[in-house]
């Protein structure tokens, strides 16, 4: 473990990016995260000494096809993530979790290819597989059908009819993530043939207006996430959903608020607007979304005490869950206003300016609401 920690050290940064997560009683090491090109196949081979691992994440490491062989020795591995490093930055906003802009990309490092995927496909315990940092072709995906528990998959390659056929052969696969490249309307239209697809995530992606319109053809999809896709209020007019679409995440975009009027037609129950430009004066634009039950406004730092005091959010009595996490300018001055959220099942006020003393008073005033601080 010390060698793994040392491999995660970055010049000019304190500590190590390597992380260990324990779970259970007694605690067992369940999740290991390894970052950067200093993590070689030799370092990853040490994983065989940690048999309790159920989740392994590697971020732009020196992992190659040969290096994935030790992963097959983990008897309880359920989730494997071979993914790019997030380098998201936004002026005035704190960096989201696991985002490291200081990490320099290394273009010529080793990558897992179709050969490595064939090795990974022997790990029949896998439920989730993220391959966004691999190099794959549509023909390589044929081996995925040998993973009987696979439910979630992230892919780097452009999808065509052959790729979709291989995905359809994975009987339990319902969630797909694509990203870190441009995605065309044609590619998304191919996915319309995949009738068991329920959730689609597009992250760090360039999307044309035609691609946004093509999402409406995914008639079985119930949840769509468009993360860090450069979306603006104006472009939301091109976003059309199928009748089954209920959950939409627009995290890390450039939405101010007025464009939310285009979402009324979607009849959503959950909307995530985290890390957008929602401000006190634009908060009113969420009011027409009367079908919402869950509204996430995490790290919308333009919302202050004034926005909470306006009463706009309190008018949304149809909401069951509201997240205000990361709103540093929401303080104890809004205590009386926060006590008007008693209709909520859950209220999240973590990383706000609200004190623990005020949290106790809010809980007393709203005994039926679970308050997270």
Q: Is the residue at 335 inside a domain? A: no
Q: What DSSP string runs through 59-79?
A: ES-S--TGGGGGGGG-TT--E
pLDDT 10s digits, 46-89: 999 999 999 999 999 999 999 999 999 999 999 999 999 999 99
Residue 239, C-beta contacts closer than 8 angstroms, at least 6 positions apart: 212, 213, 215, 226, 231, 262, 263, 266
pLDDT 10s digits, 225-275: 999 999 999 999 999 888 899 999 999 999 999 999 999 999 999 999 999
Cα torsion 165, 169, 174, 175: sign: negative
Q: Is the residue at 177 inside a domain? A: no
Joined together, the tokens standing for residue 148 give 């009987």
- Global pTM reads 0.96
Q: Is the residue at 223 inside a domain? A: no
The DSSP element (H or E) to which 323 belongs, if any, is strand 321-323
Q: Is the residue at 203 inside a domain? A: no
Q: Is the residue at 257 inside a domain? A: no
Q: Is the residue at 75 inside a domain? A: yes
- Note down the domain range covering 111: 1-163
Number of domains in the chain: 1
> What CATH number is given to the structural domain containing 38?
3.80.10
Cα torsion 337, 326, 179, 127: sign: negative
- Which residue stretches of 253-331 are H helix? 305-309
Q: Which of 171, 196, 73, 177 is nearest to 129 (CA)?
A: 177
Q: Is the residue at 178 inside a domain? A: no
Q: Is the residue at 281 inside a domain? A: no
Joined together, the tokens standing for residue 76 give 């309880």
3 state SS of 57: strand
């Amino acid at each position: 473990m010390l060698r793994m920690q040392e491999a995660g050290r970055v010049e000019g940064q304190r500590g190590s990016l390597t992380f260990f997560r324990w779970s259970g009683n007694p605690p067992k090491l369940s999740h290991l995260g390894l970052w950067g090109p200093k993590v070689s196949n030799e370092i990853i081979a040490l994983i065989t000494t940690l048999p309790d691992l159920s989740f392994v994440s590697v971020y732009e490491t020196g992992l190659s096809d040969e290096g994935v062989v030790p992963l097959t020795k983990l008897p309880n591995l359920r989730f494997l993530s071979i993914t790019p490093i997030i380098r998201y930055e936004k002026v005035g906003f704190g960096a989201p979790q696991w985002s490291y802009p200081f990490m320099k990309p290394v273009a010529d490092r080793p990558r897992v290819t179709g050969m490595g995927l064939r090795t990974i496909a022997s790990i029949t315990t896998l439920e989730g597989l993220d391959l966004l940092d691999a190099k794959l072709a549509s023909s390589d995906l044929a081996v995925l059908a040998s993973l009987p528990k696979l439910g979630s998959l992230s892919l780097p390659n452009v999808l065509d009819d052959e790729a979709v056929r291989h995905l359809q052969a994975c009987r339990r696969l319902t969630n797909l993530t694509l990203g870190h490249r441009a995605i065309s309307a044609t590619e998304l239209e191919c996915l319309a043939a995949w009738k068991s697809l329920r959730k689609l995530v597009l992250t760090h992606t360039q999307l044309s207006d035609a691609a946004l319109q093509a999402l409406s053809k995914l008639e079985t999809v119930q949840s769509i996430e468009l993360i860090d896709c450069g979306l603006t209020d104006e472009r939301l007019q091109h976003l059309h959903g199928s009748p089954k679409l209920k959950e939409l995440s627009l995290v890390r975009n450039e939405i101010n608020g007025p464009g939310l009027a285009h979402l009324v037609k979607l009849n959503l129950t959950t909307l995530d607007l985290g890390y957008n430009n929602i401000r006190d004066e634009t908060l009113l634009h969420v009011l027409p979304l009367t079908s919402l039950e869950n509204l996430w406004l995490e790290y919308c730092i333009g919302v202050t005490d004034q926005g909470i005091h306006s009463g706009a959010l309190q008018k949304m009595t149809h909401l069951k869950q509201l997240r205000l996490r990361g709103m540093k300018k929401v303080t104890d001055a809004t205590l009386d206003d926060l006590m008007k959220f008693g209709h909520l099942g859950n209220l999240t006020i973590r990383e706000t300016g609200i004190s623990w003393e005020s949290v106790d008073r809010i809980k007393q005033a709203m005994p039926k609401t679970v308050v997270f601080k």
